[in-house]
Amino acid sequence: LLRKRGYRKIYNRWHFFGENGEKYHPHLNVLCDGEWLTPEQLADLKGLIRHKLLKRSIAKTIGKDLEISYSYARSPKRMMHWIKYVTKASFRDIEWDEPLANALYGFHNGCFAGFWDDP
C-alpha cells in the first residue's frame, strides 16, 4: 500500500506490549521515507490503511477501529528517536505471557520493503 503511494523505503515492526509490559497491547510501527502530509492527505492515507487492514464489517461488529498515529520528523535527532523506539524490544519478560512467548519464538519481527539502493 505504501509503495503504491510513492514511498521508497519502509520498515515495520510489531510491539506486543505497552511500555512496561503491564498489558498485552499489540501495535504495528512503520517507518518510511516521505514528506509532511496535509491533514487531507493524512486522512486519505489513514482511510486506505484502515480499509486494507480491518474489514469495515468487523470494525462495526467489534465497535472499534484501528488507531493510527502519525509523526513527521526532519531533524536527525528526532529521526534517531523514532528508529530507536521502533526497533526496541517490547516483550522483555517471558512471564508476561509465556504461551505467547513460546508461540513467537523464532518470529522475525521486522520487515524491510521498498528500494534501499541509495548511495
Determine contact, residues 30/69, Cβ cutoff 8 Å. Answer: no
Q: Do 82 and 119 lie in a common domain?
A: yes
Instruction: Give the per-residue pLDDT at 23.
Output: 78
Q: Do 84 and 111 lie in a common domain?
A: yes
Instruction: Give the per-residue pLDDT at 78.
Output: 95
Q: Do 15 and 67 lie in a common domain?
A: no
Q: Do 64 and 82 lie in a common domain?
A: no
Q: Do 115 and 82 lie in a common domain?
A: yes
Q: Give strand ranges (E) for 1-119.
A: 9-17, 24-32, 110-114
Domain that holds residue 23: 1-32+74-119
As for how many domains the chain has, the answer is 2
**pLDDT digits (tens), the chain, 119 positions:** 787 888 888 898 888 887 777 778 788 888 988 888 999 998 998 888 888 877 777 778 877 777 788 899 999 999 999 999 898 888 888 888 899 889 988 888 888 888 878 76
User: CA 117 to CA 111: how far, in whole Å?
Assistant: 16
Q: Which three cell numbers stand for residue 38?
A: 496535509
Q: Do 85 and 116 lie in a common domain?
A: yes
Q: Do 80 and 111 lie in a common domain?
A: yes
Instruction: Give the per-residue pLDDT at 119.
Output: 64
Q: Which three cell numbers stand for residue 98?
A: 509465556
Q: Do 41 and 61 lie in a common domain?
A: yes
Determine contact, residues 109/38, Cβ cutoff 8 Å. Answer: no
Q: Do 78 and 119 lie in a common domain?
A: yes
